[in-house]
Structure 1
Amino acid sequence: MPFVVLPDDPLSAAAGERAGDIVGDQVLRYPSGRPWIISTPDAQWHEIASPPGARIVSTTPPATALDIDRLTGNPIDHHSWNSVAGHISAHAHFIGQGPGGTRFQGNLSGSCRFFWALDNNLPLVSDSPAVLRAMTGAAPDLTSVALSLAKAMPIQPFAHRTMWSGITAVGIGRWLRLPPGGVPSTHRWWSPTGGPALPVAEAAAGVRDALRDVLRAQSRSAGLVTADLSGGLDSTSICYALDDLGRRFRAFRTSSTSPWNDETGRARAAAADLGVELVEFPPLSETSTAFTLDARADPVELAEGPVVWSASRGYLDVLAPAVAATGSRVHFTGLGGDELFDVVPGVYRSVWAERGLGALGVLRRHQLSGKFPLRPFASGVADRRSYAAHLRSVVAAVAAGRAARRADSYSWFPPPVLPGWLTAEGRALVVGALEEAAAGDPEPLGADPTAHQVVESISYQGQILRQFGVVFAGTGITWQAPFTDRRVVEAALRAPVSARLDAREDKRLLAEAVAPFMPRALFAKRDRGDFTADIYAEHRRRRHDLVAGFATARLADLGLVDPHRLLPHLDSPALADVGLLELERVVGAERWLRAIDNETRSTG
């Protein structure tokens, strides 16, 4: 539900009137009578507590009772409010207001997130960049556009950036403080649970308990719910967990044209075993929209920037009304499962740190099966540089135009790659942003590369989940991804890193967690389902239109892309190791810029 929060300031009256025109006319007020939160008429604010001189509200009620008596001292003090804010923000937006100012906290994944901007030096905070864009008239930020074109860009250093100049997002695991008469500042609230790794069985029990708690909380007000059932392990696990909890649900999936994608049979077998209806849609190749230049101009969607899930957009356009037609208002997805339980690039370095010489056998096996060059692999695994040192080293190489060290692929994050079609101006914007990030000496999101990459990736999935809710707000569906929930993430991070490299089972930790209610045989090593063939099929269908369309590209007009270098890749993505993801990224940025132009012409 879009809302905007204003400071308790005499200058906020005019902003409040404009916010009412943009957002709605429901107003929560300060004791002074000035507007505090302005939201849609149907918004439901839940008053959590009113400690002396303070007020705490959230967008959904807490799932369990809270020990409000712990709220002592300064109401904006980080330590006194931290546990309550963390509890509420696991599934909602937390807003706490008191004499020390206002605290805003979203969840770890960013599916509940805050944004802020200055409007004539008046700080505004919202859950929607669309609201802030409408209030401030923000223009696209060219640096953010250029960053969106690069490959393997680290997420955390740029998590605060949006696609709009002057609109800032609250970073991963951070909360926003708006002091009286001051400028907003952010502070870290989340860090991984400390202590030594638990045995796999004990960590799996923690994951199981957390998953059950999250599923109960996310579906507690629903009768019938719906869920993805692709045939992959993540969505299938959620379906079995829903069944274990006795929840009524229906399942949906799309298929692939690839003969090597064998998940259809597994999905049907699981649905039959669970006794649930499985609705199947045509293959993704028939609905994929990754390479269309058809520019939509909905201002709320445009404010999100280029959607990072455009290949699935066509499928979701048919899925959402089908889900709504069942009467379900809660739909579960398996987003985050790969990040939480599977191999990530930094896992080998983390396993070496965890097991030392005892890891040699498993590392050698993965080096051979992955065909990783031995010397760079060994060097990367043994690397002990800090996150900040790794970032500085990688940024220096990018700035100097040097090829990245292959060993760096196994560290805190894979080195970013600047596409050859970026202009000198585009490269300068990316390098400048990287150098600024490195100079800030950022901290990692975890104690080792695996934990850091897990949380970064979970935040990426959270962005996708949040955008689902924004784009399909008219359907009334709440999209849920239990594997991105902080409680499940923290439980999974207590397991030994080596559990990700089990020789017998895929996702061993998840297999242990759902073993009481899901057939263990489903986790036996096998080929994974893959939709690459469907995306290639769409590209083949559209490539001539792409080449013609990019002859007059907005990215070229802005001086970011050299169309002569780009056009051959648009026609054949196999050239110079350029892949579909890189092309999808540049097409998404171009489509977004064209949609902004269309919006400007329609309102001009």
Structure 2
Amino acid sequence: MSLGKPQQLLFVPDTELGTRLAEAHSCPTIDSYSSGRPAIVGDAEPTRSTRADMSGKIMLGFGTVPSTFPPSVRASLQAARRGSDVDTSEIPGSLVLTIRVADTVRVQGTISCLHQVFWATVDGQVVAATDARLLAELAGTAVDANILTTWTLSPQAPYPFGLQPPWKDMHVVPPGHCLIFNTDGTRPCIEQYWCPPAPDRDAQESRDRLRERMIEAVRVRAERSDALSCDASGGIDSSVVLALAARERNDTTAFTTGPAALFDEETSWGRVIVDATGVERWKTAGPDSFPHVFDRIDETLLRTDLPFAGEPVKMRSRFIAEAVSAATSGTVTTHLTGHFGDELFSSGVAHLRDLGLRRPLEVRKRVELLHARTRIPRRTLMKWATSRSSYHQSLQDFVRDGHTAPGWLSMESSIPPWVHYREETRERLGSQLEHATVSPLGTTAEQHETLSRLITSGSILRHESQIMAPAGIFVDAPFGDDRVVDAVLRSPIGKLQDPSRVKPVLLDAIGDELPQAIVNRTAKTDSTAAIWTGLTQNASRLRTMSTNMLAAQRGVVDEGMFRASLLGPHPPSLLPMSLWRTLAVEAWLRDNEGVRHQISVDPIGVNYP
């Protein structure tokens, strides 16, 4: 029995074409225009949505959303003359939001990309969806091999290349932005609903804001009628979430699992936080039945709309969903995790640029710490700290060379040697830089790296949550809420990525909720060995995945070189994620061979900010 459904929403114009598209989707109508035509159709859990109607001005939220919108937001909706006028910054949670005011429609996802919105034009009319595959089926668009190449990069392609859906003539709404279009499907434009904040000067103000918004983020989830569970691995991030959840609800179920190599460590530390919070229900699962990396890699578990970087561990997501469901007696459950904690609070190198001209002595100290931790040469780190090259220039260098050196990101982004980086691909990417200067994601380099890591992780968690939803398990990550992300990015310059302490911003704000043993925990067992073990145990399945590759047929990879890298000796320089990314692309191509084309796309242009 399926208890839940992955969220799949389609937003259509108030036209005859919109009605035909809605009928083709064959899903229930969620909301309609005043004309009676469908405005939104799709699969969405009724208990995970909120609607406001202010004199015919409509706002709907889907996902983790409060039962009613805050009064300030409702007042803003009442006063709005078009969809873009509404200030949504006070809405807690993590949600897809749509607003209809007068003859305009507004649709947006989240900064973290846990919720994304895609759009295309069908016969000249704008259609948007939360699922790119659904949009491709309705619009009749094909795979774009040049964009697909960027999905093979490890750890990810630099923004904005890593966000683009690998479907021709399809667009994604960037993080912190919304799509606006007229109800007749014309005049699409992209506008910002959130701007990266200027860093605070007052550290205490920053800490207080983050604490307040994390409590709010957990509370909006705890207020749901679902059963509530939370990871209990003993890590700092999940421990913060569990501590706050236990304050809100005394029926919270703590959950611990992991592979054999980590299980004893996970349960030992899990016991520390469970005892400290007084949680009465603590369930464990594994380790003998915990899936290996690459288990069933050649089978379709979920037809993802985008290449899923977590494809090699997809069976773990299903295992966790089934185990959590068993722990909560098979009821619909909101399962909280510490996802996004590492992305938001871990140290990196980007902040050196922000400090370079302000605090040179501090930079030298941090260079030594980062060199010892990352082995990035001191000269490279100092060069970055004193660099004044623009982000746009770094993208131009990437298009030319196929890789980026550490700087805007701590790790080099590079195209693997088995991937064909063709001149056609260079031209395709380079054309996006010709007409407008691309700015970094944040107001500082530190913010940019933090947001880059966040949206990469958000895309992965988005697919993991889709795997778990049919078991009635709705994965929720309070750290990914827009309001929490905004609070984190207000941290004083250099504080967020300070390498002298473990997650100083988080612990300064909420560390008093944790036992001292958790606060002092500085390391976890490296799980890399489990990757190579899984590869060996699933060699036959991986050989199947690397034979007669669709990615090779499309000219994206050299099949022989990839198979040799996958199944042959693995030098230290070979990062597992580079293999994962290519496997994800191949799995995605195989899963999407049967996309049915219904209506041809007639693309119209739009200028991105």
Q: Amino acid of the residue matched to residue 582 of structure 2?
A: V
Alignment partner, residue 156 of structure 1: 159
Matched, 1:383 2:387: yes
Indicate if the aligned counterparts of 1:225 and 1:250 stay in contact, CA closer than 8 A.
yes
Indicate if the aligned counterparts of 1:551 and 1:563 stay in contact, CA closer than 8 A.
yes
Indicate if the aligned counterparts of 1:349 and 1:381 stay in contact, CA closer than 8 A.
yes
Q: Amino acid of the residue matched to residue 394 of structure 2?
A: H
Moved more, 250-259 or 331-340: 250-259
Post-superposition offset of 1:456: 2.0
Q: Distance in 1 between matches of 2:80 and 2:225?
A: 38
Q: How does 1:471-482 map to 2 (within 5 A)?
A: 471-482=467-478
Indicate if the aligned counterparts of 2:214 and 2:478 stay in contact, CA closer than 8 A.
yes
State the Cα deviation string for residues 324-380 of structure 1 (Å, max 9, x = none). Answer: 231352001111001111112313323435533343323333334433322222111
Alignment partner, residue 371 of structure 1: 375
Give secondary structure in 2 for the equivalent of 1:177.
Answer: strand
Change (3 A) 1:47 1:254: closer
Aligned pair partner of 1:563 in 547, 554, 559: 559
Q: How does 1:332-411 map to 2 (within 5 A)?
A: 332-353=336-357, 355-398=359-402, 408-411=405-408
Q: How does 1:94-105 map to 2 (within 5 A)?
A: 94-105=97-108
Post-superposition offset of 1:467: 1.8
Give secondary structure in 2 for the equivalent of 1:566.
Answer: helix
State the Cα deviation string for residues 36-86 of structure 1 (Å, max 9, x = none). Answer: 2223596466432324x63323334445333533447762263x31x1x33
Post-superposition offset of 1:181: 4.7
Q: Distance in 1 between matches of 2:506 and 2:399?
A: 36
Q: Amino acid of the residue matched to residue 306 of structure 1?
A: P
Post-superposition offset of 1:396: 2.8
Q: Amino acid of the residue matched to residue 336 of structure 2?
A: F
Indicate if the aligned counterparts of 2:82 and 2:102 stay in contact, CA closer than 8 A.
yes
Q: Distance in 1 between matches of 2:106 and 2:546?
A: 45
Q: TM-score, normalising length from structure 2? A: 0.86
Give secondary structure in 2 for the equivalent of 1:478.
Answer: strand
Q: Distance in 2 between matches of 1:365 and 1:460?
A: 26
Alignment partner, residue 253 of structure 1: 256
Q: Distance in 2 between matches of 1:172 and 1:2?
A: 19
Q: TM-score, normalising length from structure 1? A: 0.87
Alignment partner, residue 135 of structure 1: 138
Q: How does 1:125-524 map to 2 (within 5 A)?
A: 125-158=128-161, 160-179=163-182, 180-199=184-203, 201-222=204-225, 224-258=227-261, 262-276=265-279, 277-283=281-287, 286-290=290-294, 292-296=296-300, 301-325=302-326, 326=328, 327-353=331-357, 355-398=359-402, 408-411=405-408, 414-423=411-420, 426-428=421-423, 430-439=425-434, 440-500=436-496, 505-524=501-520
- Counting matched residue pairs gives 580
Change (3 A) 1:485 1:284: farther
Q: Amino acid of the residue matched to residue 312 of structure 1?
A: V
Indicate if the aligned counterparts of 1:352 and 1:359 stay in contact, CA closer than 8 A.
yes
Change (3 A) 1:552 1:47: closer
Indicate if the aligned counterparts of 1:445 and 1:455 stay in contact, CA closer than 8 A.
yes
Post-superposition offset of 1:29: 2.6
Post-superposition offset of 1:482: 0.9
Indicate if the aligned counterparts of 2:259 and 2:291 stay in contact, CA closer than 8 A.
no
State the Cα deviation string for residues 555-602 of structure 1 (Å, max 9, x = none). Answer: 2222222122222211235248222111111222222222334788xx
Q: Distance in 2 between matches of 1:554 and 1:209?
A: 49
Q: Distance in 1 between matches of 2:497 and 2:594?
A: 49
Indicate if the aligned counterparts of 2:141 and 2:169 stay in contact, CA closer than 8 A.
yes
Give secondary structure in 2 for the equivalent of 1:3.
Answer: strand
Post-superposition offset of 1:449: 1.4
Q: Distance in 1 between matches of 2:580 and 2:162?
A: 21
Give secondary structure in 2 for the equivalent of 1:552.
Answer: coil
Post-superposition offset of 1:492: 1.6
Alignment partner, residue 603 of structure 2: none
Change (3 A) 1:139 1:434: closer
Q: Distance in 1 between matches of 2:126 and 2:205?
A: 46
Change (3 A) 1:73 1:278: closer
Post-superposition offset of 1:210: 0.8
Indicate if the aligned counterparts of 2:298 and 2:545 stay in contact, CA closer than 8 A.
no
Change (3 A) 1:561 1:124: same
State the Cα deviation string for residues 267-309 of structure 1 (Å, max 9, x = none). Answer: 222223334343333349951343644231x6xx324223222
Q: Distance in 1 between matches of 2:274 and 2:143?
A: 45
State the Cα deviation string for residues 67-121 of structure 1 (Å, max 9, x = none). Answer: 533447762263x31x1x3334853222122334211122221223222222233
Indicate if the aligned counterparts of 1:332 and 1:481 stay in contact, CA closer than 8 A.
yes
State the Cα deviation string for residues 173-231 of structure 1 (Å, max 9, x = none). Answer: 110011245142212222222254332x4422221111000100122113631111222
Alignment partner, residue 535 of structure 1: 531
User: Relative contact order, CA 8 A, sep 6+: which one is greater?
Assistant: 2
Alignment partner, residue 17 of structure 1: 23
Post-superposition offset of 1:499: 3.3
Q: Amino acid of the residue matched to residue 361 of structure 1?
A: K
Q: Amino acid of the residue matched to residue 173 of structure 2?
A: V
Change (3 A) 1:569 1:412: closer
Indicate if the aligned counterparts of 1:230 and 1:264 stay in contact, CA closer than 8 A.
yes
State the Cα deviation string for residues 389-420 of structure 1 (Å, max 9, x = none). Answer: 2222333333xxxx75xxx4123575531211
Q: Amino acid of the residue matched to residue 56 of structure 1?
A: M
Change (3 A) 1:162 1:308: same
Moved more, 59-68 or 467-476: 59-68
Give secondary structure in 1 for the equivalent of 2:89.
Answer: helix
Q: Distance in 1 between matches of 2:20 and 2:459?
A: 32
Q: Which runs of 5+ in 1 are unaligned?
A: none
Q: How does 1:584-599 map to 2 (within 5 A)?
A: 584-597=580-593
Change (3 A) 1:441 1:27: same
Aligned pair partner of 2:90 in 87, 102, 110: 87
Moved more, 581-590 or 321-330: 321-330
Change (3 A) 1:239 1:181: closer
Q: Distance in 2 between matches of 1:427 and 1:264?
A: 49
Post-superposition offset of 1:429: 5.1
Aligned pair partner of 1:546 in 542, 545, 551: 542
Alignment partner, residue 75 of structure 1: 81
Q: Which runs of 5+ in 2 are unaligned?
A: 1-6, 597-609
Give secondary structure in 2 for the equivalent of 1:287.
Answer: coil
Q: Distance in 2 between matches of 1:42 and 1:570?
A: 40
Q: Amino acid of the residue matched to residue 97 of structure 1?
A: R
Indicate if the aligned counterparts of 1:573 and 1:583 stay in contact, CA closer than 8 A.
no
Give secondary structure in 1 for the equivalent of 2:72.
Answer: coil
Indicate if the aligned counterparts of 2:119 and 2:127 stay in contact, CA closer than 8 A.
yes
State the Cα deviation string for residues 118-139 of structure 1 (Å, max 9, x = none). Answer: 2233321222224323323433
Q: Distance in 1 between matches of 2:424 and 2:497?
A: 39
Alignment partner, residue 604 of structure 2: none
State the Cα deviation string for residues 438-466 of structure 1 (Å, max 9, x = none). Answer: 33422221111110121122222222332
Indicate if the aligned counterparts of 1:211 and 1:488 stay in contact, CA closer than 8 A.
yes
Alignment partner, residue 32 of structure 1: 35
